[in-house]
Amino acid sequence: MRCPNCGKNEDKVLESRTMGEGETVRRRRECLNCGYRFTSYESIEEKTFMVIKKDGRREPFERSKLEKGIRRATEKRPIDGQSIENLVTQIFDESVHQAGISREVSTSELGERVLEKLSRLDTVAYIRFASVYRHFENLDEFVKVAKEIKKQERNKT
């Protein structure tokens, strides 16, 4: 490692400690050229979690985009901000777990997870999200989804 004092690349490690539940290593070093002591931090560079768009493009997952879509669907509904945060966290965690080592999830998988969670949380928010996600073209598609929800609610009782 390059010494911040003299710029030489020769040093020795005096002490190493793990930090942050083993995700980071802190090392105390001493330059063999000038004797200057300094600290370095080492951590694993994880592969970015990616979203595969419908047209095949890949882009980094943005939690804010997911949250924005859910907030729009739940606008003016009796759902507090903490519930939305929990929902976003659950969807992200499930997606990361499901993706495994590939660290990729398709937008369709994300959308289906959101619909599943919203169906349990709020029927109106579910229909709002579904109308955008499934690209409803006319009133018949809204009515069809509403009837399916009503049928499911009757089956629960």
- What digits encode the pLDDT tens for the residues 52-94? 999 999 999 999 999 999 999 999 999 999 999 999 999 998 9
Same domain, 96 and 27: no
Is residue 142 one of the residues assigned to a domain? yes
Find the domain containing 24 and state its range. 11-43
Please list the residues that pair with 104 across neighbouring strands.
Answer: 50
Six-digit token pair at 94? 């499930």
Six-digit token pair at 113? 């997870």
Instruction: Give the confidence band of 157 by pLDDT, cuts at 50, 70, 90.
Output: low
Q: What is the mean pLDDT of residues 102-115?
A: 92
Please list the residues that pair with 24 across neighbouring strands.
Answer: 19, 43
Same domain, 39 and 55: no
Task: Read off the amino acid at residue 103.
Answer: R
Is residue 5 one of the residues assigned to a domain? no
Same domain, 103 and 141: yes
Same domain, 129 and 71: yes
pTM for this prediction: 0.64
